[in-house]
Chain A
Amino acid sequence: MLRNTVIILLPLFLFAQTEPTKDLHKNRPKVWTLTNAMIHTSPGDFIKDGSIVIRNGKIEAVGRYIKSPKDAYEINLQGAHVYAGFIETWLETESYNSKSKNERRHWDSKVRPEYRSVDNFDIKEKHIKELRSLGFTTAHLAPKQGIFRGQTGIVNLSKSPKTINSSVAQVIDFKYQPKGKRTYPRSLLGVIAHIRQTFYDSEWYLKSQEIVQSYPAENRPLASNFSLESLGLTRALEKPFAFISSDDNSASRLMNISKEFKLNPWILGSGYEYRELNQFNQLKPFFIMPIDFPSKPSVTKYMSDLQYSTAELKHWDVAPDNLSYLNRAGHDFSITSHRLSKKSEFRKNLEKIIARGLSKDIVLAALTTQPAEALGLEKSMGRVAKGYDANLVIVDGDYFKPTSKVVSLWIEGEEIYIASKKTPSFLGNWSLKYNGSAYELKIEDILKNRTNDPRNIVYKGSILFQGKTVELYNIDIFESSISFTIDGQNIGQKGSITFNGELTKSQIIGTTKNLGNESLPFQADIKISTVGKELEPESPSSLSVFSPDGAYGLFKDYPQPNAILINDATLWTCGPKGTLAEWDILFVGGKIEQVAPDITVPQGSAIVIEGAGKHVTPGLIDCHSHSAASSINEGTQYITSEVRMKDVLDPTDINIYRQLGGGLTTANVLHGSANPIGGQNAVIKLRWGADANSLLFKGAPEGIKFALGENVKQSNWSGTNRYPQTRMGVEQVIRDAFRAALDYKHENDNYYRNSKYQRTKVPPRKDLELDALLEILEGKRLVHCHSYRQDEILMLTRVAEDFGFKIATFQHVLEGYKVADRIAEHGAGASTFSDWWQYKYEVIDAIPYNGSMMAKSNVIVSFNSDDSELARRLNTEAAKAIQYGNLDPNEALKLVTINPAKQLKIDKFVGSLEPKKDADFVIWDGEPLSVYSKVEETWIDGIRYYSKTENKILEDRDEQLRKDIIQKVLSIKGGTGTNTSKSINSKMYHQGHNCDILDNTGVYNE
């Protein structure tokens, strides 16, 4: 039946107004007056005992002393509350046939901006009924699949849903292929690059189209592409782009895209907005907010709390306050029931939000006026006012009390019945009078259901008689009638006695039947319950939000002293001065001011650190890291120079903090090694607590990851035949890429040198991939190449020289010691492991002397981690060059300070303790190369990001915090829903190793 309904609905949907009549004419009356209602005309305004006149689907009049027109039929809504129909701001349509290929569409079926969700309205009747029962009369319909998912539209939720607007916004989701599939894009990296390229393509397409039309003689006809056209038009019309946000990091990513392409962003909220409010200040997006709160953590069993991270525990407590945070920050938002698997949670969660302090008016606005305005419906929806659509919600009480019921909806002047008016509840304690005796009757709900929705109650009852509890059985309750049976013997009578009664207000009156089939009257009166509500009163979370949230997060800004002086310390300058015992160093304004045997400053003008017995080194630099990144490899194509690590930085990665604790201040965050030409790297400073964009090392030259050997040949897993499969092919792929880049350059140069061309000819398409390759050839982008064997190292130096550029670093480069002379001659750096070997065939000749041998052959050598753990003890990794190869300790320390700085071309900022450089330094309690020395403080730009004492404070704070939250969890009654929370499970051993490890998609990270 349901299916039929849906099928019948479709044509109605599309042709309602013009369709011929099929049988007798149906013309229901269209003039009504609703009277005696509490009318909530708009958030904050209401009319008591008011009337509404509806005519032809519109509201004709609203007010307290309105006279009902003569032709209107009056409906008395005594005691009811009336609201403007609610707008469901996110309703996803189910189906889209992505298989239908059409060359006029975008090559990627996940890019379909031309698709309109209203064309595939396929919501099951059941779901529409659910939405109506919550008071929604209108829905903002969104497409469900893809990256550019398509266009949203607006429909009403009447019995024959009608399209109100077929194109409102474009929807963008950072969604990539699940593992297993090998089509681009298969990572967040790829998705973001793909989105950017598609925007550029649509710009190019519109421009080209214009030129072709104006100058048909000068150009070949342009292949029509309505995906690009549609996207271009959406932007030209300045329609909104709705982004799907899924975690704490989504905000910065979607804001970056919005800024780059000047979009008007909407956000389908993740629930974590409270953690990233500062991201939204500039563009003020409109938020569509689901209210699916995490379920109560399951912490009762011994040690079971260990599987929740502190951030997850906190989120459980703070999530219901998310909207208040948005509200306080001055953001506009609507509330949607989207993502609630049980729609019955919707009103309970609204109640929770209100109980925690968000005003009812704001919540009502989020269901009515806010979405109406965002959707451009502010003149027809969202208010109960003259001239507005007659979309009304009739509730038998205050909507925001979950016990009140939505009785009916009016949608464009037609009433849709939802539920009968409030049926009085049988639950509670009654004083039962029967046969001359008084008893206590108790009726309860086994499930302790809070909504009191009679359909969800499982009744249980008992009679208390002379201190004895007698169970009721055969309890049958329907609407206002009740029947039950008791065993008469328990109250001193024979046989079983059946009670049949009717409830009126607070009294049940009826008759009993006993064994002898004789009837006796009984009466039960409700006892006013003196017991308060079982629920704890809701109050806003008292937890402060850290940055990033959870363990070790910051809750206040770092102090920024103007000047810091360290006295009498051993300074390992890593510069020409070498190591200086009992010297002073002064930092001013985030820079190194002076290094001298004795520095004095006016008292109080600088923080003075007594350095006696302490050692100071430059902040350590890791030239090969995969920490602080949400995505490592886009492994589907062999050239992915368009993807950028800076798009996927993850400032919440706890390894940032842990590595600060090991003295690390700068890291080269690299793309993985799946492709001969991988993605663009990001050099970051470990500014724990900052947002993604602020992690970037300003002034660091851009770079890119290359890779050679087994990984790019995909030798170590089966079932692939991607080109290349040999080192011979790898060389060709790289040459081919650079030749293509040169062709591209030629094409562009030709075009942009000729002003006539620019006017009359289709411009060359902007290609992000080739742009990056060109930058390499122009020396603007540094190449960091994963490599192992001497042959491939030698090969790449020759290829680079043929194209006239230099390789900045060879990474890993475990056979570098075999061709150190060539590396030095070419001028590349070598960033290697201290002593890794054995893990794959191409490292068969790896030796721990590699670093020291290359260093002695005039190669600039660094030791890197490629591993989140190793990165926090690079000092002792450097020391291994003393054990293997007998490097001088000063030179050994340079492997993790000035040398990687030189390799990354950031040595004018960092890497040594020399005046004018950044105040990035580490204070150690002993010799920095010793395993027995520990980091006391780590500073970046003159700000102390880590200290031993502060660390202890944070540890204690977090321990207490966990205890408090767990106490709170335990103090709350009620079961734990298990399957409703998002990613609540904290994995043990959150993967720290990146090197060469197959990630879950079967691609190397190294």
Chain B
Amino acid sequence: MNKSILLIFTFSILLSNDQIPGKEQKRPILLKGGILHTVSTEVLEGYDILFSKGKIVRIEKNIMASPETDVYDVFGKHIVPSYIAPLTRIGLVEIGLVRQTHDFAESGSINPNVKANVSYNPDSELIPITRSNGVLIANSVPAGGRVSGQSSVMMLDGWTWEHATLKHPSGLHINWPAMSIKYGKNIKKSEKKQREEIQKSIRELDDMVRDVRAYFQIIKQRDRLSKDRQKVDLRLESMIPFIVEKKGIYIHAAEARQIISAVDWAKENDLKIIIVGGADSWRLTDFLVKNNIPVILDKVEKIPARRFEPIHLPYKIPYLLQKGGVQFCLSTRIGYPHDGNIRNLPNEAMRAAAYGLEKSEALRSITLSAAEILDIDDMVGSLDIGKDATFFISDIPPMEMNPKILMAFIQGREVDLNNHQKMLYKKYQEKYRRLGQINQ
């Protein structure tokens, strides 16, 4: 049963109103003759890809389909693994300035116990708008305070947050204390006082690690030592996976001294960290490689952090990291007014590709590298047998401008690529058509 991809595309639009989550994959699907951007290996031209029950089953030339398989001819079209946005607030904020829609920052400074996915709104308008550009996976991250909470990797389709969760927790988020000393006439605090405050903030984090280990020490013994039963502390308890089991801790740090301090802290406390932000990471490539620290780079299209830095430096940082051997991936920026711009993740990668990074590396920096850093590369990030069928079909190669995303699948479920904006576009085209102004 051969279908034209174009037919499917039109079909989805007609069907949609408020976008309906895709159906579970009941029948195997075979895409024939596409150009496969596997990311893990080279580009495979004219290959078939077969996926079933949400997983990629075969990637070969000329796969013979069984009768129950749906077959699509995608000759000349490009199949690309989902772009992965490693740093977003998707589902946690709807409108930047409307506080009622904010669910990303709990009050207080230490909130390791809060979990992003439980307040992920699966009907957020950001979801269909983001995925129409090929970003099908996003890490949704709490913010604020010293310890912001636990992030969750979400699939951008699903009826409920449980349905949409790909991985939870994907990590614990800590905002590293600012390390720069302020000088100047208007600064009231002495240099010494400022240094003391910085040290105090770091010591608090040290104490936190110790408390978690002590807490764990007691509760794992509690059957035998019931007389000293540890009373509950949700905050400490929630950090056991990160501090005792050494799951990833995301340290948000931009400036050089912050990064150095954070890495030293992780070494001392034997923890696994990932640097998020990393504006100065390019200054520290050897240090980061030596300590095996990955970086989630906050935006490429931005102005230099400092007046005297080379004007195109931010565009070149991905290349400098890659050249320096640092494991990194790219992100869009979180926070007002940027939260809606997750869909521009490929633009960030293209900008990096314009400034030194190979296009294939640029693609990797928003697919497989992101999956590796988020520790979800067993499921997504590349077109490999055994991984989720989470990818999209595009009319032109990735890392080229102005693509049309023709079809997308998340774990084999075909995703509705329509969205609120496209619907408004159609609605008002009708207005001008009736006015006889256009034939657009």
Contact = CB atoms under 8 A, between A and B. Distances in A.
Interface of A: 295, 298, 302-304, 306-307, 309-311, 550-552, 654-655, 657-658, 661, 710, 716, 817-818, 820-821, 835-841, 844-849, 853, 856-858, 868-869, 872-873, 876, 879, 882-883, 885, 929-932, 934, 951, 955, 958, 962, 978-986, 988-990, 992-993, 995-997
Contact of A857 (B186, B304, B340, B438): B438
Contacts of B4: none
A872 to B, nearest CB: 8
A839 B283 contact: no
A980 to B, nearest CB: 7
Contact of B190 (A551, A853, A978, A981): A978
Contacts of B203: none
Contacts of B97: 710, 716, 839-841, 996
Contacts of A310: 307-308
Interface in B168-225: 180-187, 190-191
Given A853-B425, A868-B303, A988-B254, A955 B310 contact: yes
A869 B308 contact: no
B185 A979 contact: yes
B437 A984 contact: no
Contact of B96 (A840, A978, A982): A840
A985 B336 contact: no
A840 B98 contact: yes
B185 A658 contact: no
B350 interface: yes
Given A716-B97, A841-B97, A931-B354, A984 B184 contact: yes
B303 A655 contact: yes
B305 A551 contact: no
B401 interface: yes
Contact of B401 (A551, A847, A879): A879
A857 B95 contact: no
A306 B337 contact: no
B311 A657 contact: yes
Interface string B343-378: 110010011011000000000000000000000000
A997 B428 contact: no
Contacts of B283: 303
Nearest to B351: A931
Q: Give chain B's interface residue range (CB within 8 Å of chain A).
A: 35 or more
B424 interface: yes
B301 to A, nearest CB: 6
A978 B183 contact: yes
8 tightest A-B CB contacts, nearest first: A838-B340, A839-B337, A839-B96, A551-B308, A883-B402, A840-B97, A847-B421, A303-B256
Given A821-B435, A837-B340, A931-B351, A550 B402 contact: no
A955 B187 CA distance: 31
B302 interface: yes
Contact of A978 (B94, B95, B191, B311): B191
Contacts of B227: none
Contacts of A930: 401
A836 B422 CA distance: 15
Nearest to A657: B311
B402 A882 contact: yes
A148 B429 CA distance: 58
B312 interface: yes
Contacts, number: 185
Nearest to A996: B337
Contact of A550 (B254, B307, B312): B307
Given A839-B340, A840-B96, A988-B305, 17 more contacts: A303-B257, A310-B308, A658-B311, A836-B337, A837-B340, A839-B336, A841-B98, A857-B438, A883-B403, A929-B401, A978-B190, A979-B183, A981-B185, A982-B184, A983-B185, A989-B254, A995-B337
Contacts of A990: 303, 306-307
B440 interface: yes
Contacts of B336: 839, 997
B421 A849 contact: yes
A990 B303 CA distance: 9
B106 interface: no
Nearest to A988: B305
B255 interface: yes
Contacts of A303: 256-257, 260, 280, 283
B440 A853 contact: yes
A658 B313 CA distance: 11
Q: Chain A at the B interface: mostly helix, strand, loop or mixed? A: loop
Contacts of A839: 95-97, 336-337, 339-340
A931 B347 contact: yes
Contact of B180 (A307, A655, A868, A879): A307
B432 A820 contact: yes
A309 B255 contact: no
B173 to A, nearest CB: 20
Interface in B213-259: 254-257
Interface in B388-440: 401-403, 421-422, 424-425, 428-429, 431-432, 435, 437-438, 440
A649 B382 CA distance: 50
A853 B256 contact: no
A980 B191 contact: no
B308 A309 contact: yes
11 contacts: A657-B311, A716-B97, A837-B421, A838-B337, A838-B340, A853-B428, A978-B190, A979-B184, A979-B185, A985-B183, A985-B187
A838 B339 contact: yes
A177 to B, nearest CB: 16
A768 B68 CA distance: 79
A996 B336 CA distance: 9
B126 interface: yes
Contact of B311 (A847, A951, A989): A951
Given A837-B340, A951-B311, A821 B354 contact: no
A958 B308 contact: yes
B404 to A, nearest CB: 8
Given A839-B95, A934-B354, A857 B424 contact: no
Contacts of A879: 401-402
A979 to B, nearest CB: 7
Contacts of B425: 817, 847, 849, 853, 885
Contacts of B187: 979, 985
B353 A550 contact: no
B428 A817 contact: yes
A716 B95 CA distance: 12
A303 B432 CA distance: 59
A838 B95 contact: yes
Contacts of A307: 180-181
A981 B183 contact: yes
Contacts of A869: 301-303
B307 A986 contact: yes
A552 B403 CA distance: 37
Contacts of B186: 983
A298 B257 CA distance: 15
B437 A841 contact: no
A386 B344 CA distance: 81
Most A CB contacts (10 A, CB to CB) among B94, B186, B339, B401 go to B401
B45 to A, nearest CB: 22
A835 B181 CA distance: 38
Contacts of B350: 931-932
Nearest to A858: B437
A280 B323 CA distance: 50
A883 B255 CA distance: 36
Contact of B305 (A550, A821, A989): A989
A955 B343 CA distance: 33
Most B CB contacts (10 A, CB to CB) among A661, A868, A986 go to A986
Most A CB contacts (10 A, CB to CB) among B339, B340, B435 go to B340
Contacts of A995: 337
Interface in B255-289: 255-257, 260, 279-280, 283
A544 B194 CA distance: 35
A688 to B, nearest CB: 11
B306 A986 contact: yes
